[in-house]
Every structure is written in C-alpha cells, then in structure tokens.
Amino acid sequence: MKGGAGNLYDRIFKENFSSPGKGMMQRILGVQMLDSFTIPGGLHYTLEKHADTLFEVRPENNGPPYIVHVEWQSVNDRQMAPRMLLYHSLIYQLKKLPVRGYVIYAGEQRLSMSDKVEHFLLNYAYEIINLTDLDPVCFLDSTDAEDVLLAILAGKSKGEQKRLIVKQVIRRLKELLQGDERELKRRLVQLEILGGLRNIQEIIIKEEENMIITYDVTKDIRFKQGKAVGMEKGKQRGVKEGIKQGMKKAKESIIRKLLTIQQLSIDDVAQITEMPVSVVKGIKDSSLD
C-alpha cells in the first residue's frame, strides 16, 4: 500500500493485526491452532519493506509448527507474487520452517493480482483472500473490536444494506467497549478511515452523529452547549435554524475529539469529517486558547 490514504489503511491493519487472535485466524485464514508466537521484530527489518504480519503457529492436531505470513493490500500490485516469493525464501532460510503465505485484499477494485510464480522447476504459490468474498456476519459475531471493524469491508452490499452494516458495527463496538470511551473513540476513528476503502465515510460519520445524539447526549458537554445555543437561536430565527446551529456545535465536538487522537494530523481529521482544513485548524487553535 503506497502513499496518502494507503498509508493510513496500512497503519491500521498493522496496528490491529500484527499479532492476530485465534478468532481472526480461523475466520479469515481458516487456520486452526493451539497457540501462536509473534516472530521477533528483527526479521521484519531484514528486507526493505517490513512484513505486515509474521508469526509461528502450533497446530491443534499436534502437527509440525510452521510460519504464517500475511500481507494486507488495498490496491492491486503486479509485483505481489515475486515479493511474496522473496519474503518466503528469506523466512525459510532464517527459520527452517515451512511458510504459509496470505495476502488479504481489502480494496474495492476487482482483484487482479497473481497468486503464483511458475517457471522451469519453480512452482510457488500463496493464497489471496478477498474480503468482499466473506460474510460481514462472521466479523460482527467476534468479541474482538479489531475484527468487528472488518465487517464494513466484507461482502458486496451497497446503499441501505451497507448503512445497516455500519449501524451494526457501531452498535457492536459500543457493546464490546462499554465503559472505555477512549478506546471506543479510537476504534471509531479507525472505522471512519477504513470507510474510505468503500466510499462510505459519509454514512459512518452520519451514524456516529446519530449515536452521539441518541446515546451520549447527557454526557457530551459540548453537544449540550451546542443544543443550548441552538435553542437560543431558535427563539430568534425559528426552530429549524436553532437545530442547525446545534448540529454545527455537535460537528465541532466530533472534530475536537478526533484531534485528541495523536496519530491523526489536521489533514487526516479534515478528510475524515469532510471539512475544510482551515476550519479544522481553526477549531484546533481555539482549543489551545
């Protein structure tokens, strides 16, 4: 994944799945295991590009251990097969264990990458898993928040069906992270960023706003302030204008919350909320006063 938004997606996938749990292994890779051990980071730096996910697996059936290597892709890469071959040759040389390779494709464009390299006596292959071929339900049922996020990337639903999945993802995150508002906020930011892979960021932000209004209105002091301003404006200009002003304050509240996430720049927040960079910068500056 290269450049701009691709780096944001790459950061989230690496952060969430550098040490995947058993649930994710079974749901996506079909790997049944007793345990897994993340391979020390030194191996990741042997190549110019770091491996996204690399760990040793001990199978449930007491079979011999092996290495699982996973790469996450948001775009088609013509050099993916040669790159995976290079990885696996080096991993086998260093660890002396069989290597099972997977590329998990999260992009929206039709999958066109090759999954093999064949010539003369060389016959190498790895598995490509397209998230759109998986059922969102298998992720919504997970007890791990990072798995739940993948539900918006799974399946081929559009329109209102996709909106329903977004609602279910937000509801599930609230259930799993009840009482941990900071972690919930972090996961919602990740959800918004990943929504860019399906062009549904607007839907996600709208449903999050609905969640704040219906779920957190008694706790969010900035929303209450916005509501009070809106009511006052409503007395002067009518109820419609008052509601509009209240929603504006609610939007500012969301921007302020996103700005507290250290990994996000002003440009990132502007992209997520679809607001001008100048507006986001102004809100940040006013917070420092």
Model pLDDT, residue 1: 45
- Site of tokens 């191996």: 43
Average pLDDT per block of 10 residues along the chain, 289 residues long: 63 82 76 68 54 83 88 94 93 91 94 96 96 94 93 92 95 94 92 93 90 51 54 53 59 76 73 79 79
Query: Cα 259 vs. chain centroid, distance in angstroms?
Result: 18
Model pLDDT, residue 282: 86
E strand residue ranges, the chain: 33-38, 53-59, 66-73, 99-105, 116-119, 122-125, 127-130
Indicate the pairing of strand 99-105 with strand 53-59. unpaired
Model pLDDT, residue 37: 66
**Using CA atoms, how far apart are residues 229 and 222, in angstroms rounded to an integer?**
11
Model pLDDT, residue 54: 85
